[in-house]
Structure 1
């Protein structure tokens, strides 16, 4: 096959404890998956209709690298989230079999141009540009489920410049990992290489240039970085 231009490199995330990389297909995200965060955003929770959105696969930032403050915003917000990597996919995956598709877990930040999101919401417009921008998905190395199991009762937290910003237990998620996979598979044909950001707890706030962040999924993964 001859390409009209040179093909792009496949985005990937390191697998902890190995020299392997996890190649990315898509990044899926769920909104309003912690009740306290939904409350702070003035939103209602609908257990019948989870809210999903996407980020481009090449939005990932790996290796605890610096993150460039994005253009077109004056209100960049952090949202710390557990991240799930799929080794296999499919459609209409049953809840009871959903975790069989999980390859690994990590921790990441769903960076958000909050002012763009608010403006879009006020007009009833989609808010893709508020979520799916360059370097909007810093993520830690991935830790294989075959080694750590499936985290269900641990603290997820974020510190900025050494000060606590967000902290909650993942057991309080409204939709569990298995339920998220089940619901996503109703809408998409999930694929190996898909990455899922599973929602953020309360405490989202602004980041500015020079801020250093440390995100942690207790006993699983740590992500560090700096806004530049």
Structure 2
């Protein structure tokens, strides 16, 4: 199982963190190892190698078929469920790595940095590109998004990624975060929603 993630996929988020950079012309892809996966409402422990860990709330897609060089018009056949996930980012490390021109996988791929909620069958939604989602921290909504605002649609991303690496059953696709990212603190209670349905629920320790 591999975790594929998309950066800079919502215009307002791009302006939030990368105001001096143009919007990407193709999907910005990075990977997380399987050891990054955090599920079953287990707590997230803030690592001691950084000073700021940010939440990035995202729609996560579950791959259910083996595929390579998938045509975009067939991409919808390759996933069967979605959930809300958190792409935890060691923000201070990311800033330093970017400033030094170095790869920044470590700030994204550390243990438990990919939290996911309960899966919802894709059939429950009429259009994957019209799904609302949001994150509450300690009962207050801190980030809200809709997949209709993506720069690159889910099927586009699947077609693009499958040119480079074979998609396998159980792979996860984190599809990017909207505007509103921010830091977490010990004791925070995170709850993620697809539309009005809570699918993600855990604490920061």
TM-score, normalised relative to structure 1? 0.85
Kindly indicate whether the alpha-carbon contact (under 8 Å) linking 1:155 and 1:217 is maintained by their aligned counterparts in 2: yes
Match of 1:46 among 24, 30, 34: 24
Q: Can you give the 5+ residue segments of structure 1 that lack an aligned partner in the other structure?
A: 1-24
**Superposition RMSD on alpha carbons, in Å?**
1.4
1:174 is matched with 151
Deviation at 1:161, TM superposition (A): 1.2
Superimposed CA distance per residue, residues 103-146 of structure 1 (whole angstroms, 9 cap, x where no aligned partner): 21111000000000010000110001100001101101112224
Structure whose CA Rg is larger: 1
Kindly indicate whether the alpha-carbon contact (under 8 Å) linking 2:67 and 2:167 is maintained by their aligned counterparts in 1: yes
Q: Can you give the 5+ residue segments of structure 2 that lack an aligned partner in the other structure?
A: none
Is 1:145 the counterpart of 2:122 in the alignment? yes
Q: Indicate the SS of the match to 1:183.
A: helix
Kindly indicate whether the alpha-carbon contact (under 8 Å) linking 2:145 and 2:178 is maintained by their aligned counterparts in 1: yes
Total equivalences in the alignment: 203
Kindly indicate whether the alpha-carbon contact (under 8 Å) linking 1:55 and 1:131 is maintained by their aligned counterparts in 2: yes
2:5 is matched with 29
Kindly indicate whether the alpha-carbon contact (under 8 Å) linking 2:67 and 2:78 is maintained by their aligned counterparts in 1: no
2:138 is matched with 161
2:82 is matched with 105
Q: Indicate the SS of the match to 1:125.
A: coil
Change (3 A) 1:147 1:104: same
Kindly indicate whether the alpha-carbon contact (under 8 Å) linking 1:104 and 1:145 is maintained by their aligned counterparts in 2: yes
Kindly indicate whether the alpha-carbon contact (under 8 Å) linking 1:93 and 1:185 is maintained by their aligned counterparts in 2: yes
Match of 1:186 among 163, 166, 182: 163
Deviation at 1:148, TM superposition (A): 4.5
2:201 is matched with 224
